[in-house]
Amino acid sequence: MELKFARKELNEKPKKVDLSKIEATVEKEESVIFYFDRENSHKDLLALQDHFEAKGKSFYMSEVKFGMADNDYMYQVHIMS
């Protein structure tokens, strides 16, 4: 599975990240917050949730609006042991 981190500038393309890199970060920390780009499908983020919940982790996801336009949002994902 490959997801896209939230872009830092509106004009740049989001950076891609592989599931193995996300897992490595989660294993190092007790609590991790990731910000994912709006270009990720909600289905992929739910698959990410299922993956970590199957490993016994707590997973919280929310949409974060940062502007007035409908597409000015990102996903905030908090994964905890």
Q: Which amino acid is at 35?
A: Y
- In the chain, alpha helices (H): 19-28, 42-54
Model pLDDT, residue 21: 96
State the sign of the Cα–Cα–Cα–Cα dihedral 27, 75, 47, 58. positive
Q: Please name which of 30, 81, 44 lies closest in space to residue 59, comparing C-alpha atoms.
A: 81
Model pLDDT, residue 17: 97
pTM recorded for the entire structure: 0.89
Q: How confident is the model at residue 1 (pLDDT cuts 50, 70, 90)?
A: confident
Model pLDDT, residue 70: 85
How many angstroms separate the Cα of 4 from the Cα of each of 30, 37, 59? 22, 6, 18
Q: For residue range 24-49, what is the model confidence (pLDDT) as tens digits?
A: 999 999 899 999 999 999 999 999 99
Contact 33, 40 (CB under 8 A): no
Model pLDDT, residue 39: 94
| Domain ranges, ordered by start, for the chain | 2-8+29-80
Q: What is the DSSP letter of 38?
A: T
